[in-house]
Structure 1
Amino acid sequence: MSARNPWTVFSATSTGVVAVFLNISGVNVALPTIARELGASAAQSSWVLLSYMLVTTALILAIGRLADIVGRRPLYLAGYVVFTLATAACALASGPELLITARTVQAVGAAALVTNTTALLTDTFPAASLGKGLGLNATVAAVTQAIGPLAGGAATTLLGWRGTFLVTLPICLVGLVWSAAVLPRTARSTAPRERFDGVGAVLSALALAATLLTLSPDVLAATGFDGVGPAVVCGVVAALLWVLFVARQRRRPSPLVDLGVLVHRMRGPLYAAVLLNAAAQYAVVVLASLVLQSTGRHDALAAGLLVSPLALGTTVAAVVAGNLVGRVAARTMVTAGSAVVLVGTLLLAVVLTPDGAYTGVFVGLFAVGAGTGLFMTPGTSLLMLTVPAAQRGIANGVRSALQNVGFLLSTAVALGIATGGLSGADRADAYSGALSAAPSALGSFGDGVRAALVVLSVLAFLALAACVALPVRRSTRVASTTPEET
């Protein structure tokens, strides 16, 4: 544990959380304006979101392990520098291709920030107050997500699509300087001479990318490879890469991923729940934002305000969960959270339509957010306290990777289903908020959104099943669990 005051470290890592989540939530709301002002095609509009998530997901495992070896601080600061420079490049992009490229670089920095934040806090906070620290970290993320659509929508309305990146830059600059000043230098592996498995890192990144392309045919189609054949090829390649990766990890004395981190009666179902919950809830904001702007009745600012109940629910539930950690079993809280997400997605499948009333949408969004907030804090605390300190980077890296796989799948699958019944021109109009000129297309879009939310509800049900499968034992009460207890 670092001698640095944990709340000082928390103040530094919170700037990174704010920068990343403000950018993510702002871009989600600004997407129709980006598509319209840059003249982006439907495929390019999708890749503004998907390129960021794909690269972040592919790098998280490697960065998590590298942080265990060389230390959290240098990786975190390097990621902050990359994220800051790439955010400036996004604001200066002159076309969709350059914006997608800058978003790809931005994702490299985000991966380093996201992977190291939880590990830095776990290294710094004592076990007795870790739940509170992680709970407040989740609260900062939730509050930022609540402010993000509003800030992004306002900036987009006043400054155009570049505004959503410009509002992030001052936070990045201040946060980078403060983090360099206060982050501890002692948060590094107890085995610093271990060698980084570069080949394993490449195999895992390629395997993740191939898997995501296999499971998301619309993402594959956006690259120009449409039809069943390319998806089958990607599936075969993904399977081969995973076999090679696992075989290499079993032979390596210092593997990228210690497979024992995954094969565990507590962490196994918990990792499954992380993946499925992320897949169930992440695309809800994107779908709601597109639906609310699809008829032209709402601009980016109004849409940001109207989708904010989800982040509000996350904020409230994260605060409650942080106070309950140590007093209520983590298994109970993550199960309840998954159940509430399921209720929210089912309600939205009924009420979220281009011409529907907003009251039910508010309740559904708030429920999805509340369930997410109730799941995050106890789930993360439980995971981080069931691995030794030297493995926290990769354990959290696996969690972050699975969460980001869920985010990417959620976005790709939901957008693919929601716009699948539209022609190419109508699909572009759906992204740019101009479907009101085609009533029949608007109806097809509404049906597609409903089908997408049904699929998200199925994923939420599977997440609930994974939580129910968690063993009932003393270690599910987070405060009484030591880091080495397995």
Structure 2
Amino acid sequence: MTRRAQDASGSDAAVPAAEDEREVRRRCRRALGVTTLGLMLVLVNTTSLNLALPALSASFQVPAATADWFLVAFMLSNTASILVFSRISDMLGRRTIYLAGLVCFTTISLLCAFAPNATALIVLRALQGIAAATTVTNTTAILTDVFPSDRLVRGLSLNITAASIAQMIGPALGGLLVTFVGWQALFLVNVPIGILAVALGARLLPKLSRTRGPEERFDVAGAALSSTGLAVLLFGINRIGPWGAADPRVWTAILLGIALLVAFVLVELRISAPLLDFQLVRRPGRGQAYGAAFFNSFCRAGVVVLVGLHQQMVEHRTALEAGFIVMPLALLMMLCAPLSGRLSSRWSARTLSSLGAVLVVLGIVGLAGQLATAGAPLLLMTLWLGLIGGGTGLFTAPNTGSIMAGVSSDRRAVANGIRSMLFNSAQAAGTAVALLILTSWLGSSGVASYAANADDSTVRLGFAVAAGAMGLAALSGLVLSLARGGPWRAR
């Protein structure tokens, strides 16, 4: 491989470019390794907590409606913070914000392990979600900065592979630690990993010069409206279960959240330096890709929570056993994500993502039937979860690559921030909707806590209905993936 340069006399000369190529590869490997470690830290913590709900309910002696907040508080604050940190990162530098967030996440994890009561833990989880937003926001943006455009999908696929490993390790590790040590260990294990991630990031992440936009002004009004609107809306959705759908507080929160988000959109359309650049969404195909990513995340988050609870409440398995049963979803994600990277040179994002979405729909339909059936073979559960995971692995990297393609360097964190906000909003909404349907069903059956054993047909039907709602979300994602248009084969 060579590049052209001019010698001292002004004539062209062929100069070996092997050294440049080695430097590019080295920078890519370092950025991928460091950001992957930070992302895995956040994901392992998030997914391991899913298996700890029964243990936390018993430890703090709280009902299911309160225990939900050990998950929901993190999701709400994380989602509400993503757009804010996206803009701050583009203004101040992605490396700086990324490392500062990891320091805060690690410190708060230590505090969570010593939370004296449920209220303190919920508050700390909300703060932890804010800190995690810096990692979620900047991982893909940093990789887009470092990787050449023709290698970006492959780099993203490797990052997603590692994320899949984290999601596979998380439930198993969570079950293991809860069963043999206690829920406190779920937070203590973050501390040494967080320290390592900060040290490596400070040493290896490149200090790239930033391309400033025409105005480097922070959108305070947009930040306040977006974060408050998202938090209030998701809060209202979550409260339908414990308060009831007819409670005026529920609809006040939902309508207020919607009103704040509408006001946010109106503000963003009128100012010159918006927190959310709608030009990014208007590009043909990108809006559909954003929507498809939302519904894929929505259904997958709900499935993981439902299966973990089903195996403990209905099948009477331990948290450790439930963690291993959920593992095929992440395992197939891990195996299929690199495959999508290799296939991206021949097939378009529309083809690969839509094929993945089809597999997710089929897997959730099969899983719903499995959850409703008493004594169904565990092998079938593994098959359906593997199908969902494999489909997600095929879907994610090409879909993310199509979102990030063509975004200028000064808007990459914002572009990825929109994707991350939708991803996390979907996780929060998917988890809330799944638990809402489930807790409503459990309440009608006289089951008050996730720590209870309940294996009657009514409870099984509740799990199946909740899974069916996740299937409708998966189908919506498939429709949007197909609707993005464009060729089926890569150009």
With normalisation by structure 1, the TM-score equals: 0.91
Q: Paired residue for 2:477, among 459, 463, 473?
A: 463
Q: Paired residue for 1:312, among 326, 331, 345?
A: 331
1:44 paired to 2:66: yes
Structure 1 residues 174 and 455, CA gap change in structure 2 (3 angstroms): same
Aligned to 2:206: 184
Instruction: Tell me if structure 1 keeps the 8 A contact 2:215–2:273.
Output: no
Instruction: Tell me if structure 2 keeps the 8 A contact 1:155–1:167.
Output: no
Q: Paired residue for 1:31, among 53, 65, 75?
A: 53
Q: Paired residue for 1:435, among 453, 459, 483?
A: 453
CA offsets per residue over residues 158-205 of structure 1, 9 Å max, x none?
Answer: 211112222222111111111111212225342385111111101011
| d(CA) in 2 for partners of 1:350, 1:104 | 35
1:448 paired to 2:466: no
| d(CA) in 2 for partners of 1:295, 1:459 | 25
Structure 1: give runs of 5+ residues left out of the alignment. Answer: 481-486
CA offsets per residue over residues 358-409 of structure 1, 9 Å max, x none?
Answer: 1211111111111111111101111111322221111100001111111111
Aligned to 2:260: 241
Compute the displacement of 1:416 (Å). 1.0
Aligned to 1:423: 443
| d(CA) in 1 for partners of 2:173, 2:209 | 34
| d(CA) in 2 for partners of 1:189, 1:417 | 47
Moved more, 442-451 or 128-137: 442-451
After TM superposition, list the pairs within 5 Å mapping 1:71-90 onto structure 2.
71-90=93-112
The alignment-based identity, stated in percent, is 35
Aligned to 1:157: 179
Where 2:173 maps in the other structure, the secondary structure is helix
After TM superposition, list the pairs within 5 Å mapping 1:37-436 onto structure 2.
37-186=59-208, 188-191=210-213, 194-214=216-236, 216=237, 218-220=238-240, 222=242, 227-295=246-314, 297-353=316-372, 355-423=375-443, 426-429=446-449, 431-432=450-451, 434-436=452-454
| d(CA) in 1 for partners of 2:112, 2:375 | 34
How much is the aligned-residue C-alpha RMSD, in angstroms? 2.1
Structure 2: give runs of 5+ residues left out of the alignment. Answer: 1-19
Equivalent position amino acid for 1:110 in 2: A
Structure 1 residues 62 and 22, CA gap change in structure 2 (3 angstroms): same
Structure 1 residues 457 and 295, CA gap change in structure 2 (3 angstroms): closer
Which protein shows a greater Rg?
A: 2
Structure 1 residues 73 and 297, CA gap change in structure 2 (3 angstroms): same
CA offsets per residue over residues 59-100 of structure 1, 9 Å max, x none?
Answer: 111111111111101110111011101111111112211111
Aligned to 1:5: 27
CA offsets per residue over residues 228-286 of structure 1, 9 Å max, x none?
Answer: 42333234323322232122112211111111111222111111101111112211111
| d(CA) in 1 for partners of 2:315, 2:58 | 12
Equivalent position amino acid for 2:458 in 1: S
Greater than 6 Å deviation, 4+ residue runs: 1-4
| d(CA) in 2 for partners of 1:51, 1:356 | 34
Q: Report how many residues are paired.
A: 468
Where 2:227 maps in the other structure, the secondary structure is helix
Instruction: Tell me if structure 2 keeps the 8 A contact 1:136–1:318.
Output: yes
Equivalent position amino acid for 1:108 in 2: I
Equivalent position amino acid for 2:332 in 1: G
Instruction: Tell me if structure 2 keeps the 8 A contact 1:419–1:445.
Output: no
Moved more, 18-27 or 161-170: 161-170
